Amino acid sequence: MNRAFYSLPDPREVGLKWKPYQQAREKVSRIETRLRQTQNERARLEGEIRELGDAEARALSQAILRGEDDPTARHDEHQRLVERLRRLKREEAAISQALPQAEEELRQVVFENQHRWKDEADSALAKAIQEERKAYDRALELIQEPRRKRSYAENLSGWVRYPQPTFSEPSDVAALSAIQNLGSGPHNAEQRMQERRAAEQLAEEQEEGVA
């Protein structure tokens, strides 16, 4: 079975409420769950049938050794399991056909709402970038003074053992550099967002020119 999607995002993670998408996503999830349950039940039944078949073979072997007739006490149970397995296979086949259809419906929902949703997603991204930058600023403020004191005490501990003419106060370059490296994430995300918008705008202008 060819799948259109193997995992799907949840816009609610960034505060977006796309009801048509959520409904389509829940349908896909519901069908996926039913398919897994059907497949698990089929595998379980196949195991039971194999075990029952082995048990019947052993019983027949013992009956032959004793010179008795073929024992058929469990034949009805075997037939019942086989019929149940047939129904499960038909159900699994039907669900396997329904899943791609549900995924295609989801794809169409995204395409139908893409113009509005991409703007909302970009707005959520811009907001998240600002929040992350503020968090880095707060982290730098929190770490700077304790780090300065620790570094100063470390230098003082060394100086008191070996007094030098000049005592060098420590600089907090390492902490600043670490925060700046983390801060490159929002910058890169913002740059990629701007590049996507520019490419989309250029494509729209080219389409208008052709028209």
Tens-digit pLDDT profile for residues 30-88: 999 999 999 999 998 888 877 776 666 565 555 545 555 555 555 567 778 788 888 98
Evaluate if residue 161 carries a pLDDT over 90.
Answer: no
Element housing 79 (H / E): helix 75-161
Joined together, the tokens standing for residue 190 give 């913002």
Residue in this structure with the two tokens 């730098």, named with its chain if needed: 140
pLDDT per residue over 172-201, tens digit each? 666 667 666 777 788 888 888 899 889 988
pLDDT band at 112 (very low <50, low <70, confident <90, very high): very high
Q: Which residues of 90-123 are buried (b: 16+ CB within 10 A; e: fewer)?
A: ebbeebeeebeebbeebeebeeeeeeebeebbee
Alpha-carbon gap, residue 25 to 27, rounded angstroms: 5
Query: pLDDT higher for 55 or 92?
Result: 92
Q: Residue 162, SS3?
A: coil
pLDDT value of position 37: 95
Query: pLDDT higher for 137 or 52?
Result: 137
pTM of the model: 0.68
15 Rama sector, left if φ>0, alpha if ψ -120 to 50, beta otherwise:
left
Evaluate if residue 160 carries a pLDDT over 80.
Answer: yes
Number of domains in the chain: 1
Q: What is the dihedral of CA 45, 47, 53, 57, to 10 degrees?
A: -160
Asked whether residue 32 is domain-assigned, the answer is yes
Evaluate if residue 203 carries a pLDDT over 80.
Answer: yes
Alpha-carbon gap, residue 103 to 93, rounded angstroms: 16
CA atoms within 13 A on the CB side of 198: 6
Asked whether residue 2 is domain-assigned, the answer is no
Residue in this structure with the two tokens 């389509």, named with its chain if needed: 24
Alpha-carbon gap, residue 66 to 34, rounded angstroms: 47
Q: Which residues of 195-207 are buried (b: 16+ CB within 10 A; e: fewer)?
A: eeeeeeeeeeeee
pLDDT value of position 69: 56
pLDDT value of position 85: 85
Joined together, the tokens standing for residue 133 give 């930058």
Q: Which residues of 133-161 are buried (b: 16+ CB within 10 A; e: fewer)?
A: eeebeeebeeeeeebeeebeeeeeeeeee
Asked whether residue 133 is domain-assigned, the answer is yes
What is the residue range of 98's domain? 11-210
DSSP structure string for 180-198:
HHHHHHHHHHHHHHHHHHH
Alpha carbon distances (Å) from 79 to 21, 62, 85, 133:
44, 22, 10, 67
